[in-house]
């Protein structure tokens, strides 16, 4: 039997699916260098193509798209205040870049939801259009779309309900369409999100108080002198214009 020599060595075979911390095998200089220049944690699901170097400080000041707390399921919440968005001066392309920038730079790992406040939104001034919104959503990475759990639609007007009910399935992908949850009053939002997790602007709270005293205004059934719903009611339209017309005939 041959004796072992000083040149003998052993070979250890390690399965490739086992994890090993290689830091103990580094030299002292390599460990010090690794501590001084650690690799950044890449916990976002966005590639560098979605991260823009553009200055969005002007849009940040508007506070129409901001990251807040979490819902009761632990999902992070992005708040969108429709009234704060200047649709007439911000192009769809820049809006898309800004949304991607916010998601990729601020949103941590895990599922999230969106709280969209539609209170007192004017279509001409604050709405980018359903086509642009659909385009932005479809451009998001698939993993981001999968992480989106719910879109809470606060204070939907009659027109919004009709549009989404009739055309929503054609303009929105199936995944997004079924994630929309209409919330007519803030009290119903607290069933899913604790108070204090999302900052509610004062005008949204005031709008909610008015609607609470006029519950049928959401559906255009009773007069709406404050134009709270997005479509004029039949009673308001006929009553006002009939009165004006009668006054003109009497005056003539």
Which residues does 211 contact at the CB level (< 8 Å), separation at least 6? 155, 184, 185, 217, 218, 228
Alpha helix ranges (H) inside 127-233: 130-139, 142-147, 158-171, 174-177, 186-189, 202-213
Which residues does 231 contact at the CB level (< 8 Å), separation at least 6? 157, 158, 159, 220
pLDDT at position 196, please? 93
Supply angle C-alpha 168, 172, 174, rounded to 5. Answer: 100
Nearest CA to 121 out of 129, 131, 113 is that of 129
Here the tokens at position 225 are: 């002198």
Q: Answer yes or no: is pLDDT of 46 > 90.
A: no
Q: How far apart are CA 69 and CA 67, in angstroms?
A: 7
Which residue do the tokens 């369409």 mark? 177
pLDDT digits (tens, 9 = 90+) for 194-222: 999 999 999 999 999 988 887 666 665 65
Lowest mean pLDDT among 42-46, 220-224, 246-250: 246-250
Here the tokens at position 85 are: 């968005």
pLDDT digits (tens, 9 = 90+) for 141-196: 899 999 999 999 999 878 777 777 777 666 676 678 889 999 999 999 999 999 99
Kindly state the DSSP code that residue 24 receives in the 8-state scheme: G
The larger pLDDT score, comparing residue 23 to residue 42, is at 23
> Could you give the dihedral angle defined by the CA atoms of residues 220, 226, 229 and 230, in that order, rounded to the nearest 10 degrees?
120
């Amino acid at each position: 039997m041959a004796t072992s020599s000083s040149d003998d060595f052993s070979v250890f075979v390690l399965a490739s699916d086992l994890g090993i911390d290689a830091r103990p095998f580094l030299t002292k200089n390599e460990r010090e260098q690794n501590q001084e220049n650690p690799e950044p944690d890449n916990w976002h699901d966005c590639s560098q193509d979605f991260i823009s170097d553009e200055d969005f400080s002007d849009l940040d000041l508007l506070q129409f798209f901001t990251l807040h707390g979490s819902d009761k399921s632990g999902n992070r919440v992005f708040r969108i205040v429709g009234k704060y968005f200047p649709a007439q001066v911000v192009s769809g392309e820049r809006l898309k870049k800004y949304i991607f920038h916010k998601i990729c730079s601020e949103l941590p790992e895990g599922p999230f939801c969106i709280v969209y406040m539609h209170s007192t939104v004017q279509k001409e001034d604050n709405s980018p259009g359903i086509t642009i919104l659909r385009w932005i959503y479809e451009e998001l990475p698939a993993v981001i779309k999968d992480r989106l759990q719910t879109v809470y639609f606060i204070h939907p007007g009659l027109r919004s309900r009709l549009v989404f009910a009739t055309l929503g399935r054609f303009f929105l992908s199936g995944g997004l369409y079924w994630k929309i949850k209409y919330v007519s009053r803030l009290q119903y939002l607290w069933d899913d999100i604790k108070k204090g997790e999302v900052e509610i602007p004062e005008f949204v709270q005031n709008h909610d108080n008015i609607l609470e005293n006029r519950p049928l205004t959401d559906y255009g059934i009773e007069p709406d002198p404050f134009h709270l719903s997005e479509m004029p009611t039949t009673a308001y339209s006929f009553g006002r214009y009939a009165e004006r017309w009668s006054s003109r005939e009497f005056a003539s």
